[in-house]
Amino acid sequence: MPRFSAKWMVAVVLILLVSGAFFFCEYVIYYPTILKCAWPKINHARGGEGIDGRPMDSTVRAMVLSDTHLLGAVGGHWFDKLRREWQMERAFQTALWLLKPEIVFILGDIFDEGKWSSQKHWEDDVRRFHRMFRHSTDTELVVLVGNHDIGFHYEMDWFKLQRFEKVFNASSTRIVTKKGVNFLLVNSVALHGDGCPICQSVEKELIKLSRDLNCSLQNSQSGGGVTDSCEGAQLYPPTPPIMLQHYPLYRVSDASCTGLDAAPPEERHLLFREKYDVLSKEASQRLLQWFKPRLILSGHTHSGCEVLHDNKYPEISVPSFSWRNRNNPSFILASVSPGSYALSKCFLPEESTVISVYCSAGACMLLLFLAHCLWMKGLLQCLSLCLLGKHKSL
């Protein structure tokens, strides 16, 4: 009877230890981590009221993440796919439930193999994306295109681009307006400047959007009168846009980048390649001249960075949202009004922490099992000695 009771006791403890570690690492850990995050408050002194007179309660709560890289059928190991996609799904769903953003932007590289996936594999990737990033009608999800979605410039074609746009039911270059705030979405993969058909189409659309925004500002300043040069222009709220794109604007390297989510020290001084790691100087200057954005948000590098272009255009590089690309993923919380904005960063659980918890639980299980074996061995020896003593006395 003691052996039976001890075995069941050890089994119960082991089950509780395993289930407890699993439940904590796969569900619970996301809640206290994301609960530390909060929506930033816009400073009234910085311009809490828009230039069109909109009050502070018109603030948009936007969640910005990047580089999810859903693994495909070719290069994705099933366990890697399962582990990292579960992490992103739990992180995203927990953030939606706790923070309740009005709009979510994903800055490209949604998929890892969109640039070469077959139609069958593409449809499977899309199905998994919609399951992971499901959301209520209260939240708008806006997706930008990245080089892994349609290929680098030399790989992209109309079929891949239109396939991407069809899935997300929107053009890859456009303006999304919410509560008087203009969010400019740029297909940065097509800004190679070599006159390719897609590049020409995107550049033509950007010039049109630039004209529309400039005419909107002129119309507001002139009291509603439309000049001849603005005839037929689409009018937007008269505020400088927040520009979102996959590639960062041109910078030499990440040498000036700091923070917990910056590139590792040994990588920060590596020179960036134009049109591969960052946009070219020419394309970057054109975007700044056309739109004069009050903020640029970009991805692609998988690391965080803050850059000030021409001493007046701030850019934030948003780190990857996936454990596959970094140990400490994060996303941006942006409170944006027509005249101002405030940003904060929200870190997700570190993969190393989860691994440490599982390793600790495994070590405890091993020690408990060894202790049980030693105790049972001692008990058996004790019983054997007792039985041998009784036999000798007889």
Q: What pLDDT score does 184 carry? A: 97
Beta strands in 72-226 (DSSP E): 103-106, 140-143, 174-178, 181-186
Domain count along the chain: 1
Is residue 33 a part of any domain in this protein?
no
In angstroms, the CA 42 to CA 49 distance is 10
Confidence of residue 1 (pLDDT cuts 50, 70, 90): very low
Instruction: Of 44, 90, 322, 293, give the one whose Cα is nearest residue 183.
Output: 293
Q: What is the pTM of this model?
A: 0.88
Q: Name the band, by pLDDT with cuts 50, 70 and 90, for residue 381.
A: low
- Whether 103 is in a domain gets the answer yes
> Which residues are within 8 A (CB) of 180 and not within 5 positions of it... i.e. 6 or more apart?
50, 52, 54, 58, 237, 239, 337, 338
27-32's contacts with Cβ under 8 Å and 24+ in sequence apart are: 27/90, 29/349, 29/353, 29/354, 29/357, 30/90, 30/91, 30/94, 30/348, 30/349, 31/94, 31/98
pLDDT at 49: 47
Q: Is residue 65 part of a domain?
A: yes
Q: Which of 24-28, 225-229, 354-358, 389-393 has the lowest mean pLDDT?
A: 389-393
Residue 296 lies in a domain: yes
Provide the sign of the torsion angle of the four alpha carbons 318, 323, 325, 326, taken in this order.
Answer: positive
Q: How far apart are CA 21 and CA 357, in angstroms?
A: 7
Using the predicted structure, report yes or no on whether residue 197 has a pLDDT greater than 80: yes
What whole-number distance in Å separates Cα of residue 369 and Cα of residue 10?
Answer: 8
Separation of alpha carbons 132 and 86, rounded Å = 8
Q: Is residue 193 pLDDT above 70, yes or no?
A: yes
Residue 167, pLDDT score: 92
Confidence check: pLDDT of 7 > 70: no
Q: Which is more confidently placed, 136 or 227? A: 136
CATH number of 87's domain: 3.60.21.10
Rounded percentage of the chain residues whose pLDDT exceeds 90: 65
Q: What is the mean pLDDT of the chain?
A: 87
CB 43 within 8 A of CB 340: yes
Q: Using an 8 Å Cβ cutoff, are 200 and 187 in contact?
A: no
Residue 314 has pLDDT above 50, yes or no: yes
Structural domain containing residue 290: 58-221+232-355
Residue 383 has pLDDT above 60, yes or no: no
**Exposure class string for 295-324: b at 16+ Cβ within 10 A, else e:** bbbbbbbbbbbebebeeebebbbbbbbbbb
Tell me the pLDDT band of 372, cut-offs 50, 70 and 90. low
43 within a domain of the structure (yes/no): no
More confident residue, 221 or 323: 323
The pLDDT score that the predictor gives to residue 380 is: 55
Contact 348/89 with Cβ under 8 angstroms? no
Q: What confidence tens digit (pLDDT) does each residue in 25-47 have?
A: 999 999 999 999 999 998 754 44
Summarised one tens digit per residue, pLDDT across range 149-192 is 999 888 899 999 999 999 998 888 999 999 999 999 999 999 98
Q: How confident is residue 195, by pLDDT bands cut at 50, 70 and 90?
A: confident
Answer yes or no: is 24 within a domain.
no
Q: pLDDT tens digits for 321-361?
A: 999 999 999 999 999 999 999 999 999 999 999 999 989 88
* Residues 181, 172: Cα–Cα separation, whole Å: 19
- Please report the pLDDT score of residue 347 as a whole number: 96
Residue 5 or residue 62, greater confidence: 62
pLDDT at 387 over 70: no
Per-residue pLDDT at 175: 96
Q: Report whether pLDDT(225) > 70.
A: no
Question: Could you read off the pLDDT of 81-123 as tens digits, one per residue?
Answer: 888 899 999 999 999 999 999 999 999 999 999 888 889 999 9
* 365, 370, 373, 376: CA torsion to nearest 10: -90
Confidence of residue 48 (pLDDT cuts 50, 70, 90): very low
The 3-class SS string of 268-306 reads: CCCCCCECCCECCHHHHHHHHHHHCCCEEEECCCCCCEE
- Is residue 37 assigned to a domain? no
DSSP state, residue 27: I
DSSP SS3 for 169: coil
Residue 379 has pLDDT above 70, yes or no: no
Band of pLDDT at residue 384, cut at 50, 70 and 90? low
Average pLDDT over residues 350-376: 82
Q: Report, as an integer, the average pLDDT of 133-145.
A: 95
**71: three-class secondary structure by DSSP:** coil
Q: Is residue 334 part of a domain?
A: yes
**Residues 51-87: b if buried by 16+ CB within 10 A, e if exposed:** beebeeebbbbbbbbbbbbbbbeeebeeeebeebbeb
Which residues, other chains included, contact 344 with Cβ-Cβ below 8 Å and sequence gap of 6+? 37, 38, 39, 40, 332, 333
